[in-house]
A and B are shown apart, each in its own frame.
Chain A
Amino acid sequence: AQSVTQLGSHVSVSEGALVLLRCNYSSSVPPYLFWYVQYPNQGLQLLLKYTTGATLVKGINGFEAEFKKSETSFHLTKPSAHMSDAAEYFCAVSYTGTASKLTFGTGTRLQVTL
């Protein structure tokens, strides 16, 4: 069975500060890992994903994440937060195969202050 843990349901950073959102997973097979962002009253938008290959993946809006197998982690970072980054962020895991379901973490709400 696979699961995802997101440490910190709420993270607050100042504009211009580093953003670090934590995600740890458990999976019995090599995982596919995703970060999605949800803005208020909207659907989920894919930020970035890791499937195979390079462990540092870059996504949209300046975000990136590094897959660390030894730590079973896939933390999301952005060097400099912007007010527009305020949203709910979800880490998710799936695996290759027909109609693979996404298992989501509980989400982290990012607040960006002036």
Chain B
Amino acid sequence: DTAVSQTPKYLVTQMGNDKSIKCEQNLGHDTMYWYKQDSKKFLKIMFSYNNKELIINETVPNRFSPKSPDKAHLNLHINSLELGDSAVYFCASSRADGETQYFGPGTRLLVL
């Protein structure tokens, strides 16, 4: 069984569209994260949720809105997609103490 899963794996869309990426973890963790990996492979935290509560919001444009319906799921909705949003988005989860984060396989977003 996959510990952290993301859908879709690939996403190609036009500028201006709205899209969502879903993440689910079956590890029983309390905390979930979204990271963005740019074209130079640099990884940066975007958001973190603990027990469905937003904990970290790293000055991400408000076109990005995370939603956590329960502590096993953290979805990322992106409005009005821009070319610069093209990246790989990784979901991760950890225990509440944030010690070790387990990553999903990533969603490769390409905005045309």
User: Which A residues contact B (CB, under 8 angstroms)?
Assistant: 32, 34, 36, 38, 41-46, 49, 51, 88, 90, 94, 96-104, 106-107
Contacts and interface: CB of A to CB of B under 8 A. Distances in A.
Contact of B41 (A88, A94, A101): A88
Nearest to A34: B100
14 contacts: A41-B108, A45-B103, A49-B99, A49-B100, A51-B99, A98-B50, A98-B96, A98-B98, A99-B48, A100-B97, A100-B99, A102-B35, A102-B43, A107-B42
Chain B residues touching A, range: 20 to 34
B42 A104 contact: yes
A43 B99 contact: no
Nearest to B101: A102
B42 A99 contact: no
A105 B56 CA distance: 19
Interface string B3-41: 010000000000000000000000000010101000011
Contacts of A46: 100, 102
Tell me whether chain B's interface is mostly helix, strand or loop, or mixed.
Answer: strand
Contacts, number: 73
A100 B98 contact: yes
Given A101-B58, A102-B45, A102-B92, 6 more contacts: A46-B102, A88-B41, A98-B97, A98-B98, A99-B98, A106-B42
A99 B103 contact: no
Contact of B98 (A44, A88, A96, A106): A96
B105 A42 contact: yes
Nearest to B91: A43
Contacts of B106: 42-43
Contacts of B50: 98-99
A97 to B, nearest CB: 6
B103 A44 contact: yes
Contacts of A88: 41
Q: 9 closest Cβ contacts across the A-B interface?
A: A100-B98, A99-B55, A44-B103, A101-B45, A104-B43, A43-B105, A99-B48, A43-B103, A99-B50
